[in-house]
Amino acid sequence: MVNALLASIEICVVCILRLVSSSALLFVLLLGVQPFLVPLAGVTTDVILSSSTRRIVVGQGRVEVGDIRFGYNVRVNDLTSPYLYQVDPTMAILSDGRVMVGWKETNEHNGTGQRVSFAYSDDAGETWSPSVIMDRMDEDMDADDYQSDPWLVADQDDNAYFIFTEYNNIYFNYVPEGVGVAKSTDGGVTWSDPVQASDTWGHDNQITACVSPSDDLCLVWEHWSDRELVFTKSTDSGGSFQDTQNISDSWVPYITSSDNGTLLISTWVEGDSILLLRSGDGGATWPLTFLVNSTGPAGLDSVTAVDTASNGDIYVAYSAGAITNRDIYLVKSTNGGRNWSDPVQVNDDTTGMQRQVTMIIDEEDNIHLAWLDSRHGEWHRYYSFSSDTGATFSPDLRITSEGTLLSLNQPGYYFSLKEGPNGLCAAWTGGQGYNLDVFFAKQDQAAPVISHTPATLGFAATPLTLTATVSDDDHVDTVTLYCGVSATDTWRGIHFSLISNDQYQAVIPPEEMIGGYLEYYIVANDSAGRITRIPAVETEYYQVPISPVSPSLILVVAVSVAVVAVVVYIVVRNRRKKR
């Protein structure tokens, strides 16, 4: 009888041990490594919302302009330059999306150039190649022989051309100087030796260039010695250049080519006039010169821009007004430049200085403009566009996330706005304090994408770890988890931490793990202010049941039962042996 009782007790103890071990295994399977994770350090913010719906209204970040926003500002130059400032950026974009940027190296923010440099990006501007100082035409030149005024263009075969001036800073107008053109057939990985494009003496500057539909490389610049515009072109992909010709007594040119090959140059004349030069024979002659600004405010900035629509209409953008309060204007000609519309003001804020405009017209005839702007008491870059042939413009959109001191009153003459496979791209000079670097931003075309497996079980007073994969076409700015329990009307915001690549992790603290179930949702913002929420419907949330018994208590009880069972088993067996 006693032996039968002991055998029954032994069987019960074995069953208890098996049950405990099975419970522990189930506990581990349910929680994974959750009981052993330490919550990540991070800033948390309580967000009080409506007690009736508890729905959060997420802010839109930067102002949205139609579907165009600019994203994260990325520095292009790699800080290895021996020169203090990087200014006058120029940009070309190849058909495969490779972005190429050049700039001027100088020791003065508004002074002469020392050398010119270059970098490229294959990931839409997120990362950049090491900065490279371009070769001079004559590497035997002494320390007083400089480069300046870079300009980048690419032809239809993705050949890239880096154009620059070369001069002697001491003798200036008294030695042969020139315009150099280097060519790259591999997207800027290597460059040819520069070819001389100029055949004049004296100082050349303010170069601009374009490639015609017939792939002629057309150059125009200011011959500083006599303040004349000089034109030349290459018909053999930059191998050689035609004799230069003086085409206008004006300054600061900007050249473009229409779809039918007509060459157009907008240029500034001291005394507050803007001229349009037109050539219908590929630059062989320049018989037509038109006055652009017959109406509108006086007081012109010297930088202008010209482009054409698909129907041949010509647009010229410029800055005009009082010396401390200029605005951006656009005029249009529908008859080849003979007559011009009244100017339309582009910028919607009239405080401060708006100048140094750049412009492009895309294949759908949308007009895109960007400019230097001081409305906030520091220099920023702003953007606007028109989809109705320049009749009206979108609200101003700030491209730059950081400003530049107003005391740096000329961060280069030009900056660049281009369109490529990744949308609009901008390159400019800017900086914090007294540093000037070259920055890049591209159009942000999509909101972040979130991939997340919802949690299925939580335990009272126990941290809950959640993970998500978040990606964006530009840059993920923040990822936030909003959580609350069924018994409260308060959402708590917890920032996700980036743990690797696109992997993010957040830990819900123990004090939130109360009540019958937990509700949560996830919001991701990109650098342009686009927002993704999951679940997508703002009144829907993920719900996680919360077990009232904590996993630690379950484990303690299980271990305690096992210990008691083992003790009882040992006592009973000892008594049986004594019998």
Tens of pLDDT, residues 328-337: 999 999 999 9
> Sign of the CA dihedral 45, 543, 30, 450?
negative
Q: Treating both helix axes as pointing N-terminal to C-terminal, what angle do 551-578 and 2-31 enclose, rounded to 10 degrees?
A: 160
The sheet with strand 449-451 has its strands ordered as 449-451, 464-471, 503-508, 497-500
> Mean pLDDT across the stretch 391-395?
95
- Rounded to an integer, what distance in angstroms lies between the CA atom of residue 32 and that of residue 109? 58
**Across 32-36, 53-57, 227-231, 326-330, least confident range:** 53-57
Model pTM score: 0.76
* Burial annotation 276-301 (CB, 10 A radius, 16+ → b, else e): bbbbbebbeebeeebebbeebbeebb
Q: How confident is the model at residue 545 (pLDDT cuts 50, 70, 90)?
A: very high
Q: pLDDT digit string (tens) for 197-234?
A: 998 777 788 999 999 999 999 999 998 777 899 999 99
Share of the chain above pLDDT 90, in %: 58
CA distances from 485 to 69, 129, 428, 463, 464 (A): 36, 49, 48, 14, 13
Give φ, ψ of 419 to 5 degrees. Answer: -115, 135
**Is the pLDDT confidence value at 190 over 60?**
yes
- 8 A C-beta contact, residue 183 and residue 192: yes
pLDDT at res. 203? 75
For residue 392, give the nearest of 350, 338, 304, 332 by alpha carbon: 332
- Answer whether 177's CB lies under 8 Å from 167's CB: yes
Q: Which is more confidently placed, 46 or 154?
A: 154
Beta-bridge partners for 458: 546
What does DSSP assign to residue 461?
T
Q: Which two tokens stand for residue 2?
A: 């006693």
**pLDDT value of residue 538:** 86
Q: What is the mean pLDDT of residues 532-550?
A: 88
Q: What is the mean pLDDT of residues 7-33?
A: 49
Asked if 495 and 523 touch (Cβ cutoff 8 Å), the reply is no
Between 304-313, 405-414, 435-444, the lowest mean confidence (pLDDT) is in 405-414
Instruction: Convert the pLDDT of each residue in 303-319 to its tens digit.
Output: 999 999 999 999 999 99
**489 has a pLDDT exceeding 70:** no
Mean pLDDT of 406-416: 79
**Mean pLDDT over the full length of the chain:** 83
pLDDT band with cut points at 50, 70 and 90 for residue 171: low
Name the token pair of 369: 């403009």
Pair of tokens at residue 184: 């790259």
Q: Mean pLDDT throughout 469-487?
A: 86
Q: Which of 43-52, 89-98, 466-475 has the lowest mean pLDDT?
A: 43-52
pLDDT category at 539 given cuts 50, 70, 90 is: confident
Structure tokens at 451: 């991939």
**With 90 as the cut, is the pLDDT of residue 386 above it?**
yes
Reference 369, options 292, 276, 321, 303; nearest CA is: 303
How far is residue 316's CA from residue 303's CA, in Å, rounded to a whole number? 11
pLDDT at position 17 over 70: no
Is it the case that residue 138 has pLDDT exceeding 80?
no
158: left (phi over 0), alpha (psi -120 to 50) or beta: left
What is the spatial distance between Cα 183 and Cα 103, in angstroms, rounded to a whole number?
16
Identify the CA nearest to 276 among candidates 354, 331, 219.
331
Strand runs labelled E in 235-341: 245-248, 251-257, 263-269, 273-279, 288-291, 305-308, 314-322, 325-333
Q: Report the C-alpha gap between 373 and 423 in whole angstroms.
A: 23
- DSSP element (H, E) containing 571: helix 551-578
pLDDT of residue 570: 75
Question: Measuring CA to CA, how many Å separate 410 from each of 83, 86, 108, 158, 430?
Answer: 17, 12, 10, 32, 10
